[in-house]
Amino acid sequence: MDEQETQTALVLSPEVEGLKSRFGDQILETSDGIDMPTVVLAQEAIVEACHYLKQKQGFEQLIDLCGLDMSEHPNHEADAPRFMVVYHLLSVAKNKRIRLKIPLNERDLVESVTEVWPTANWFEREAFDMYGILFVNHPDLRRLLTDYGFEGHPLRKDFPLTGRVELFFDDAQWRCIYKPNKLKNRVLIPRTFPGVDRG
């Protein structure tokens, strides 16, 4: 262990140190962020890690779970997993937060954490609906924000900004129908990322 690794090990929170000692090689990366510590885990360790953080470290609340499509991020490497699932946990008793991240590819399966926190149910449904992330052992994995017949996942970077279809009410059929979208995808403002091209 070199001097830099020793210094990094000294500043990590006890919760992160506990995860590292318990899960070993399944911890892919750790960092102390500005707002909270961040731990990148192997996807097969997520449920056990969440049980550990809830029961042993006192993180009794899952305050957020979301997906990320990293494909167009400036630091994303071509061979790296495209998606991430991000978990934000809160310990009210200790007034502490921790962020867990899981990298995964398009058809990878992630274990649901609804057995640890039932509130993960709708968060996981939203990540499935918006990104197509598949959660196994979820009690009711179906779309949450889009329509029943909707095709695609709107928050993926390759989904067109204007969508693929438009919804109309048809007076003759007396129901809503979909028609192919005739709008052109116009990008008026170039995409920027925090810290890029700011001097």
In a domain, 184, yes or no: no
Work out how many domains the chain is built from and give that number: 1
In a domain, 129, yes or no: yes
User: Tell me, what's the pLDDT at 8?
Assistant: 47
pLDDT digit string, tens, across residues 52-103: 999 999 999 999 999 999 999 988 998 999 999 999 999 999 999 999 999 9
- Record the tokens describing residue 79, joined without a space: 């061979």
Check whether 9 has a pLDDT greater than 50: no
Range of the domain at 95: 3-145
pLDDT band at 17 (very low <50, low <70, confident <90, very high): very high
In a domain, 32, yes or no: yes
Instruction: Please state the pTM of the whole predicted model.
Output: 0.81
In a domain, 199, yes or no: no
Q: Tell me how far apart the alpha carbons of residues 199 and 85 are, in angstroms, rounded to a whole number.
A: 31
Give per-residue burial for 79-105: e unless 16+ CB within 10 Å, then b: eebbbbbbbbbbbeeeebbbbbbbbbe
pLDDT band at 7 (very low <50, low <70, confident <90, very high): very low
pLDDT digit string, tens, across residues 179-195: 887 777 666 677 666 66
pLDDT digit string, tens, across residues 137-191: 999 999 999 887 788 899 999 888 777 787 788 899 998 888 887 777 666 677 6
In a domain, 60, yes or no: yes
β-strand pairing of 61-69 with 37-41 = unpaired
In a domain, 198, yes or no: no
In a domain, 105, yes or no: yes
Q: Tell me how far apart the alpha carbons of residues 13 and 165 are, in angstroms, rounded to a whole number.
A: 49
In a domain, 176, yes or no: no
CATH number of domain containing 13 = 3.30.460.80
Ranking 13-17, 110-114, 117-121, 174-178 by mean pLDDT, the lowest is 174-178
